[in-house]
Structure formats: C-alpha cells, structure tokens
Amino acid sequence: QVIVSFNQVSKVYRNGCQALEAINLQIRRGDFLFITGASGSGKSTLLKLMYGEERPTQGEVMINDANLAGLRGDRLSKLRRQIGVVFQDYKLIPRRTVFENVAFVLWAQGFTRKEIHRRLLPTLKLVGLHTKADCFPEELSGGEQQRVSIARAIVSTPPLLLADEPTGNLDPDNSLQVLKILKKLNAIGITIVLTTHDEQLVRATRDPVMQLRNGHLFQAR
C-alpha cells in the first residue's frame, strides 16, 4: 500500500531557485527510506512537500491517496496530524518540561487529560526518557533532546514519520542511538523517511537509500 506518492514533482521557489525537478517517488507502508544528498540538494524541500509546508510548482504529491494541492484548512490540518516530523534542531519549547513538550501536541488536538497521562509514559519509555519527564530541555544532552522531539512526533501515533537530518547535531554514538529508536518505531509499523548527509549513518543500515543531486532523485541502493 502506497502512502506517499510523488508524480513528476518540481519545486521552484519564488526567488527562482529550483530545488526539485521532476521527482517520481513511491513510499509504501512500513518502508524505512533514507534520502541522502549534499547540503542544498533539496532534502528539506522534499520533506516539506510531504507535510504540506511547501506546495509543488508542478506535479502531484499524494498522501494516502489525497492530493495535497486540493487540501486547505481543516482537511489539511487533519492530514498533517497523520505525519510526525522531527527536525535537526529539535524545536523544543525551552521553558516547558519534557512531559509538557510531548503532552502539548495531544492537548492541542483535544485529547483529555486522562488520555494524555495514559499515553505519555509508554511514549517516553519507548525513547528511553521516562526518568526525565520533569527535566527542562536545557538539562538534557543533544541526544536526549532529539529523543524528546521523537516522542513528541509519535505520541499521537501517526503512521508516517519524517525526520529531517535528525542526527545533524549529534555525535556518532548519539546518532546511532537515535537510529536504533527509529528502527524500533519502524518495526512496530511506522513508515519512516529520513534525510541525512551522514555517510556513517547510511552505512549502519540495510534499508533502501535514494540520493538527491541538484534537485534530481536517484536510487542509490
């Protein structure tokens, strides 16, 4: 079952910069897809098109058979809730605890207090942070902060997780730990798309790899 489909997708930014050209891509439920490429090759743009942060200049982006171009307002928000996103710089709220950072997503989606409490501990356990629930982000290492951001991305159980250079700010040990957690999530059925320019990370996996070069996508492995 295809959950993400790009059909001849191009993206030209308003300043004339062509970030992607004629991309064709199909991601199936349960895939773990690596997308590599140098800085500026279009990796972030590709993910932004998947979660509707940018719109294609040409072609179609389909998520679960819905054409993103046709979605606005509530229907777009609803689709976006099906997609967890993790960024290189974590994007945690500094003056909120780990618990609050993760709970916020559920609260914003109207979950009850009881349901939020029911979900939080298992999610924090999954990323190995159940003992850090009351810490503030600045009290955590980079690897731990990234694990909080992963918990936040998956706490509402989205079927699709996008990770944009999730290990970009981490040392090799922490990078592999983050990869291990993502593998675990993939094993329980979450489809994952991960961008990276870290060759070592790519070598640590046997999953399919695609490479972006100047806005063109190639099967690399």
Q: Which of 5, 9, 33, 45 binds ligand ADP (CB under 6 A)?
A: 45
Binding piece for ligand ADP, criterion CB under 6 A, among 43-51, 122-130, 139-147, 202-210: 43-51
Site for ligand ADP in 13-42 (CB under 6 A): 13-15, 17, 19, 37, 39-42
Which CB, 39 or 219, lies closer to ligand ADP? 39
Which CB, 42 or 59, lies closer to ligand ADP? 42
Binding piece for ligand ADP, criterion CB under 6 A, among 12-20, 100-108, 114-122, 150-158: 12-20
3-state secondary structure string, the chain?
A: CEEEEEEEEEEECCCCCEEEEEEEEEEECCCEEEEECCCCCCHHHHHHHHCCCCCCCEEEEEECCEEHHHCCHHHHHHHHCCEEEEECCCCCCCCCCHHHHHHHHHHHCCCCHHHHHHHHHHHHHHCCCHHHCCCCHHHCCHHHHHHHHHHHHHCCCCCEEEEECCCCCCCHHHHHHHHHHHHHHHHCCCEEEEEECCHHHHHCCCCCEEEEECCEEEECC
Which CB, 35 or 102, lies closer to ligand ADP? 35
Q: How far is the CB of 212 from ligand ADP (least distance, A)?
A: 6
Which CB, 133 or 202, lies closer to ligand ADP? 202
Which CB, 44 or 145, lies closer to ligand ADP? 44
Q: How far is the CB of 2 from ligand ADP (least distance, A)?
A: 23
Calculate the CA 12 to chain-centre distance: 22
Judged by the rule CB under 6 A, the positions of this chain that interact with ligand ADP are: 13-15, 17, 19, 37, 39-45
